[in-house]
Chains A and B, each alone.
Chain A
Amino acid sequence: MEIMIGQSAGVSTVEPKGRIDSLTAKEFGDRVCALIRSGANRVVIDLANIAYISSAGFRALLIAGKLAEESNGRLVLCGVVGEVQRLFDISAFSTAFQIYPTREECIAKVQAG
């Protein structure tokens, strides 16, 4: 899978492409956790280019989310639409995570927090 990691005004952005399934979840989770451990405490994950997420992917997101909380950081999501939105709703992660419609709103929220 392709994972683009960027910086915007003190906020780290993570943009995975493809799918977060049993084959790719570990790589995705390891990258996000490494980013948080390296000191990034404001992280936006943009899922707009993800076709679907399986339970392995939600496990990786959950581990990253817990790590961010333990590090007193913020981890928020955007791009949760279509099939990905449906999977977030089924797993009830749409209420557990902080999700905003656009990347700009995410950045504004974590900068304010």
Chain B
Amino acid sequence: MVIPGPTGAMERAELRIANRLAELERVRLWIEEFAAAHALPMPVLTSLLVSFDEVLTNVISYAYADGGDHEILLRIALRDGAVAAEVEDDGAPYDPLGAPPPDLRGGIGERSPGGLGIHFVRTLNDEVAYERRGNRNRLSFSKRVSAAP
């Protein structure tokens, strides 16, 4: 759903997806549409694409022990010179920000891929926050659009 702002451009966008990995293609197109509408710079677009990929892959893969159908709510808003995004799900309580940082040292033989997804979300964004409200997890992340002075 696209909500027009006072200038006619969409200031906020919302998308509801099913808890299936195949939905990530639709998510990518939705992010690209928002980025194009606001002429977001490439680093901001990449941050959004990678962050949503990481967060949603985690939720879809691990949040639902029941194996049933669930809806995940996605939001992007442009406000105060920053892009603010949210992922809301009704899966098991899980704070990805509580996970230990990954060990990035060593060569190919020593490296383990664990923990890299949330490391990307933390590093690519200026702010990341987790909140459990009622039976829902909400992970929000935001990034300034203009370069810091």
Contact = CB atoms under 8 A, between A and B. Distances in A.
A19 B104 CA distance: 23
B120 A59 contact: no
Main secondary structure of the interface of A (DSSP, over half): helix
Interface in B25-53: 25, 28, 42-43, 46, 49-50, 53
Most buried by A among B107, B108, B109, B123: B108
A54 B108 contact: no
Contacts of A86: 43, 46
Interface string A29-52: 000000000000000000000011
A97 B108 contact: yes
Contact of B53 (A22, A91, A96): A22
A90 B57 CA distance: 19
Interface stretch (B79-87, B90-98, B110-118, B135-143): B110-118
B21 A59 contact: no
Interface in A43-75: 51-52, 54-56, 58-59, 62-63, 65-66, 69
B12 interface: no
Contacts of B117: 54-56
B108 A23 contact: no
Given A22-B21, A52-B49, A52-B50, A90 B124 contact: yes
Interface string A95-110: 0110000000000000
Most buried by B among A55, A83, A87: A55
A68 B117 CA distance: 24
Most buried by A among B56, B104, B105: B104
A90 B117 CA distance: 11
Contacts of A62: 108, 111, 113
Contacts of A96: 106-108, 111
A21 B24 contact: yes
B124 to A, nearest CB: 7
A9 interface: no
Interface of A: 19, 21-23, 51-52, 54-56, 58-59, 62-63, 65-66, 69, 82-83, 86-87, 90-93, 96-97
Interface of B: 21-22, 24-25, 28, 42-43, 46, 49-50, 53-54, 56-57, 104-109, 111, 113, 116-117, 119-120, 123-124
